[in-house]
């Protein structure tokens, strides 16, 4: 089918047209235009989207998954550049001999019914085409438009306006189909090495643009600041330059936060003063391109400049997703080094303390070809987290991962650049880096924006929690490996350390009202947290009142954050006996109370006179042990309530005598328990026996999984010898349990608490 025949088909009587890959931003726009022109449009894709649902309300017949039978009734099939052989609808259309055209061919045919204004180049097409459509609409031109993203101010990414003679569209050069267009005017933003999976070299790219320009019947607007655009466009008939230099220029650029202003001039004479509400000098230059077209068309420039002030940009083009006094999160589609550099410059204009990037490379071929350019661009940020490559339609290339880009950023001088293979882990790493005053940009053409959305929601939540708590520490994604004596565990989603009882109680109320999981931990000495970490709120009570104690005669009141070693030391200084057993236990008062911990024949509640606690509604109460149900290693009340402090009773003695007994207890403990990172005894002693002896007699001392090992001193201890994961510790635990059951017929039950989620590979 020739271009002329295709144009006649699309502008003629209604036809049955099927679109393969209709959910994509480009194809959905074609569907919208065809529906407006009265065609019977069907489409298929592997996913459903909000845009597809909108198109269905306009008459699209949508199918997922894609099937061969979808194309049987079609008189014309349009497919996106991502569709290949092996797609059942594509293969069926070829087998049936259906007329088939690429997306760009269909768009070029649709444009043939009007005067086309084509925006092309490697970067900025969506912004400039949407700017142009908005400005021309405000000037009363009634343009049709087609842009590659959701544009809130335009209402939709594609629109056919029967009342206007112009059609503004962006032309995609990635697959060479840019040569399909025959516009009246062309805007060339930039030309540089890109899409080298399709083009042999820069000369081939230049040739494609040159052919497009030879098919342009009116003016060619090119950016004089860009070497490639100047190389290909300058000197051609109808060529008009724009930029910081050129016939039309952007002068006196000023920026503040996310606004900017400049003087739009022709040959040095001001034509209009412009205010923009999209950031960065690159957007001022984009606006200059649009105003240059408007000037050459003879439009009202003050009206066009006023329209630019109301322009707010496309989705995923420096889109603010979260803003507060502490944090600013922005999402951007940029996926080429030039775009990244422009985004960082715009981010600097926001005036925040630091600019952080969460970057997802796009396509293996681009990553391999431009890794050093990526590194130089990313090095302009204060910190960068790089996740793995979003493949689009490409198969993997051996050795090509996001690690290449992170390494290149380090080599280029980036202060902090790390690689995290999974998108989820990359988001966690970025969240950990954030501190008040930062601006974080999620950057890439893949699905990295989903991580930005999740991070924005978590930031909003932790800011609410922090406000409720008052004084204290609040952090996102705190590694639980820092807060367990086993030194394993993934991140706590919301980590809070309040300093007052009132702040803690308000946290309890706020978290429960929001339906957030809520838990309090001590020093993590009897705890194994899985590698996926903990969802919800995790509170550590160790600051402020929770870390204080007071000696009152023969009694000591201690907050739950007081370490048992410190409590034992206070008792020595006060000449109080009864606390000696606490020496050497790697825990604090809170964990001791919750578990009714003990050693050397003594339990915590043997000494407790009163317990102060908060219930799960944030009320504070106090009870004596006689009013509580107390078991070996268990206090049921504290399973759903939260200890705040306790009053302990001691017996008068002399400091010297107490210190002597404390040393004896400590020596006994050191002789029987191994040094190193552990969670204490892993298994409970079974009735009539000792877990350590069963494990030892099964020959399991020194059994190892990864960096986790059964102690050769006390077989009921598992040691982290450095770098062990929770998965390794738990695999070793299950191996020990299975072997003891097989050899002795005894199933060991864990004494340690095992919590958290398995690690995700997403």
DSSP string, 140-171: T---EEE-SS--TTTSSSEE--TT-SEEEEE-
The CB density around residue 672, as the number of other CB atoms within 10 Å, is 10
Task: Supply the CATH number for residue 394's domain.
Answer: 3.90.190.20
Distance, CA of 669 to CA of 685 (rounded, Å): 17
Which residues pair with residue 419 across a beta bridge? 386
- Does residue 734 share a domain with residue 695? yes
- Does residue 661 share a domain with residue 618? yes
- Does residue 642 share a domain with residue 581? yes
- Does residue 434 share a domain with residue 398? yes
Q: Could you say which of 426, 457, 488 is where a domain stops?
A: 457
Q: Could you say which of 102, 122, 141 is where a domain stops?
A: 102
Tokens found for residue 683: 């298994």
Tokens 């994509």 correspond to 24
Residue 760 lies in a domain: no
Task: Supply the CATH number for residue 666's domain.
Answer: 3.30.465.10
Which residues pair with residue 359 across a beta bridge? 386, 443
Distance, CA of 71 to CA of 81 (rounded, Å): 18
Which residues pair with residue 259 across a beta bridge? 256
Task: Supply the CATH number for residue 65's domain.
Answer: 3.40.50.720
pLDDT in tens, 371-383: 999 999 999 999 9
Tokens found for residue 119: 């925006």
User: Which of 126, 247, 367, 387 is flagged as catalytic?
Assistant: 126
pTM of the full predicted structure?
0.70
pLDDT of residue 352: 84
Q: Is the pLDDT of residue 405 over 70?
A: yes
SS3 101: strand
- Does residue 127 share a domain with residue 217? yes
pLDDT in tens, 115-168: 999 999 988 888 899 999 999 999 999 999 998 777 777 778 899 998 899 999
Residue 502 lies in a domain: no
Domain that holds residue 415: 319-457
User: Checking DSSP bridges between strand 100-102 and strand 704-705, what pairing results, if any?
Assistant: unpaired
DSSP state of 685: P
Kindly indicate the confidence band of residue 609, based on its pLDDT and cuts at 50, 70 and 90: very high
- Does residue 142 share a domain with residue 265? yes
Beta carbons of 608 and 625 less than 8 angstroms apart: yes
- Does residue 96 share a domain with residue 58? yes
- Does residue 711 share a domain with residue 617? no
Q: Is the pLDDT of residue 762 over 80?
A: no
pLDDT of residue 669: 61
Helices (H) and strands (E) in the chain, counts: 22, 39
* Torsion, CA 296, CA 299, CA 302, CA 306, rounded to 10: -100
pLDDT in tens, 302-319: 999 999 988 876 667 778
* Residue 125 falls in the annotated catalytic set: yes
Task: Supply the CATH number for residue 299's domain.
Answer: 3.40.1190.10
* Residue 501 falls in the annotated catalytic set: no
Residue 51 lies in a domain: yes
User: Which of 9, 170, 506, 583 is flagged as catalytic?
Assistant: 170
Residue 487 lies in a domain: no
Residue 601 backbone class (left: φ over 0; alpha: ψ -120 to 50; beta: rest): left
CA proximity to 404, closest of 443, 353, 435, 363: 363
Q: Which of 203-207, 246-250, 338-342 has the least mean pLDDT?
A: 338-342
pLDDT of residue 87: 92
Residue 17 lies in a domain: yes
Q: What sign does the CA torsion over 714, 717, 722, 727 have? A: positive
DSSP letter string, 169-195: EE---TTSGGGG---SEEEE----S--
Residue 523 lies in a domain: no
Q: Could you say which of 654, 671, 688 is where a domain stops?
A: 671
Residue 424 lies in a domain: yes
pLDDT in tens, 13-27: 999 999 999 988 789
- Does residue 44 share a domain with residue 12? yes
User: Which of 125, 219, 371, 466 is flagged as catalytic?
Assistant: 125
CA proximity to 520, closest of 629, 435, 427, 595: 595
Characterize 15-47 residue by residue with b for buried, 16 or more Cβ atoms within 10 angstroms of its Cβ, and e for exposed: bbbbbbbbbbbbbbbbbbbbbbbebbbbbbbee
Distance, CA of 608 to CA of 297 (rounded, Å): 87
- Does residue 85 share a domain with residue 19? yes
Distance, CA of 538 to CA of 428 (rounded, Å): 16
Q: What sign does the CA torsion over 451, 453, 456, 462 have? A: negative
What's the number of domains the chain is made of? Answer: 5
- Does residue 200 share a domain with residue 181? yes
Tokens found for residue 586: 């790697």
Burial of residue 413, with CB atoms counted within 10 A of its CB: 0-12 exposed, 13-18 middle, 19 or more buried: exposed
Mean pLDDT for the chain overall: 90
- Does residue 658 share a domain with residue 691? no
Residue 539 lies in a domain: no
End-to-end CA distance of the chain: 44
* Residue 194 falls in the annotated catalytic set: no
Tokens found for residue 693: 């002896």
Distance, CA of 592 to CA of 270 (rounded, Å): 76
């Amino acid at each position: 089918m020739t271009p002329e025949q295709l144009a006649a088909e699309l502008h003629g009587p209604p036809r049955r047209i099927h679109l393969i890959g209709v959910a994509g931003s480009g194809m959905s726009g074609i569907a919208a235009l065809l529906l407006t022109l009265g065609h019977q449009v069907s489409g298929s894709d592997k996913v459903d989207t909000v845009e597809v649902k909108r198109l269905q309300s306009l008459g699209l017949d949508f199918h997922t998954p894609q099937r061969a039978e979808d194309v049987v009734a079609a008189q014309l099939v349009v497919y996106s550049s991502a569709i290949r052989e092996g797609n059942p609808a594509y293969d069926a259309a070829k087998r049936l001999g259906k007329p088939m055209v690429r997306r760009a061919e269909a768009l070029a045919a649709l444009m043939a019914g009007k005067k086309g204004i084509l925006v092309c180049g490697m970067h900025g097409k969506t912004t400039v085409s949407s700017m142009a459509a908005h400005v021309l609409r405000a000037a009363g031109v009634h343009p049709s438009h087609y842009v590659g993203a959701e544009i809130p101010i335009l209402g939709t990414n594609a629109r056919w306006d029967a009342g206007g003679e112009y059609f503004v569209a962006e032309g995609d050069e990635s697959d060479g189909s840019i040569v399909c267009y025959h516009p009246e005017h062309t805007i060339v933003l930039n030309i540089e090495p890109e899409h080298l999976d399709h083009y042999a070299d820069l000369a081939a790219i230049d040739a494609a643009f040159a052919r497009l320009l030879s098919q342009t019947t009116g003016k060619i607007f090119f950016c004089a600041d860009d070497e490639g655009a100047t190389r290909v466009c300058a000197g051609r008939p109808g060529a008009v330059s724009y930029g910081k230099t050129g016939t039309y220029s952007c002068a006196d650029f000023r920026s503040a936060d996310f606004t900017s202003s400049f003087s739009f001039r022709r040959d040095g004479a001001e034509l209009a003063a412009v205010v923009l509400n999209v950031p960065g000098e690159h957007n001022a230059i984009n606006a200059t391109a649009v105003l240059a077209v408007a000037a050459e068309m003879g439009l009202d420039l003050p009206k066009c400049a006023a329209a630019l002030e109301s322009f707010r940009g496309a989705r995923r083009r420096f889109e603010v997703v979260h803003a507060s006094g502490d944090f600013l999160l922005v999402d951007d589609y940029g996926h080429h080094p030039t775009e990244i550099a422009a985004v960082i410059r715009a981010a600097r204009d926001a005036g925040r303390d630091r600019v952080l990037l969460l970057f997802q490379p796009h396509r293996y071929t681009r990553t391999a070809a431009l890794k050093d350019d990526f590194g130089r661009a990313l090095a302009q940020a204060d910190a960068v987290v790089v996740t793995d490559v979003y493949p689009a339609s490409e198969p993997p290339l051996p050795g090509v991962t996001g690690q290449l880009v992170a390494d290149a950023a380090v080599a280029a001088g980036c202060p902090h650049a790390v690689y995290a293979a999974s998108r989820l882990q990359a988001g966690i790493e970025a969240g950990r880096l954030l501190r008040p005053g930062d601006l974080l940009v999620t950057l890439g053409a893949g699905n990295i924006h989903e991580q930005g959305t999740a991070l924005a929601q978590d930031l909003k939540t932790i800011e609410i929690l922090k406000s409720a708590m008052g004084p204290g520490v609040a952090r996102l994604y705190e590694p639980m490996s820092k807060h367990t004596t086993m030194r394993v565990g993934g991140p706590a989603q919301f980590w809070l350390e309040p300093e007052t009882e009132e702040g803690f109680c308000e946290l309890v109320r706020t978290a429960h009202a929001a339906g957030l999981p809520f838990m309090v931990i001590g020093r993590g000495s009897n705890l194994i947290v899985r590698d996926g970490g903990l969802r919800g709120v995790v509170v550590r009570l160790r600051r402020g009142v929770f870390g204080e104690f007071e000696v009152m005669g023969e009694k000591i009141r201690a907050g739950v954050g007081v370490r048992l070693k410190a409590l034992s030391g206070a008792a020595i200084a006060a000449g109080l006996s009864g606390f000696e057993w606490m020496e050497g236990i790697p825990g604090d008062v809170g964990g001791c109370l919750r578990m009714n911990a003990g050693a050397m024949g003594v339990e915590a509640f043997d000494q407790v006179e009163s317990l102060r606690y908060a219930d799960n509604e944030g009320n504070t109460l106090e009870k004596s042990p006689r009013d509580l149900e107390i078991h070996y290693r268990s206090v049921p009340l504290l399973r759903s309530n939260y200890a705040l402090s306790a009053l302990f009773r001691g017996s008068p003695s002399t400091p010297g005598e107490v210190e002597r007994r404390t040393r004896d207890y400590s020596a006994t403990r050191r002789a029987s328990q191994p040094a190193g990172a552990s969670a204490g005894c892993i298994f409970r002693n079974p009735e009539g026996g000792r877990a350590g002896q069963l494990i030892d007699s099964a020959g399991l001392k020194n059994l190892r999984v990864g960096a986790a090992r059964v102690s050769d001193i006390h077989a009921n201890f598992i040691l982290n010898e450095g770098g062990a994961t929770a998965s390794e510790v738990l695999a070793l635990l299950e191996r020990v349990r299975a072997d003891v059951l097989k050899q002795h017929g005894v199933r060991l039950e864990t004494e340690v608490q095992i919590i958290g989620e398995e690690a995700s590979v997403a």
